[in-house]
Structure 1
């Protein structure tokens, strides 16, 4: 997914307990990209933030929805290319 504006997130992915997931952030951008998790897809909690391209692996201690994106006020310019998959 390409992000070119603030308040833009990937579609949430449900990661089951004990499973891992991969995050890829690439592109040329000035922004703070956040990984968030939620139990109900309404209340989102920041888990990690990134200001440069990265590849990362995470795991879920219990079943959580995860998404990656840029919050309001955290985007300046460029294109953030993000992938989140289990």
Structure 2
């Protein structure tokens, strides 16, 4: 998913306890990208922030919904390409 504006997130992905998930952030951008998690898919908590391209694999300690994107006020310019796989 390409992000070129603030307040834009991927669709939520449900990750079971102990299951891995992969995150990819790429592109040329000036923005803070935020990985968020939620127990109910509605109320989101910040889990991590990224300001440059990166890739990693995480593991969910318990069952959570995850999404990644750019919060309001955290986008300046460029295109952020984000991918979240479970």
Q: RMSD between aligned alpha carbons? A: 0.4
- Which runs of structure 1 show a deviation greater than 3 angstroms over 4 or more consecutive aligned residues? none
Q: What stretches of structure 1 of length at least 5 have no aligned partner?
A: none
CA distance in 1, matches of 2:42, 2:20: 22
Q: What residue in structure 1 maps to residue 48 of structure 2?
A: 48
Higher share in strand? 2
Q: What residue in structure 2 maps to residue 19 of structure 1?
A: 19
Residue pairs, 1:1-20, within 5 angstroms = 1-20=1-20
TM-score, normalised relative to structure 1: 0.98
TM-score, normalised relative to structure 2: 0.98
CA distance in 2, matches of 1:41, 1:21: 17
Q: What stretches of structure 2 of length at least 5 have no aligned partner?
A: none
CA distance in 1, matches of 2:43, 2:11: 15
Q: How many residue pairs get matched?
A: 86
CA distance in 2, matches of 1:2, 1:69: 10
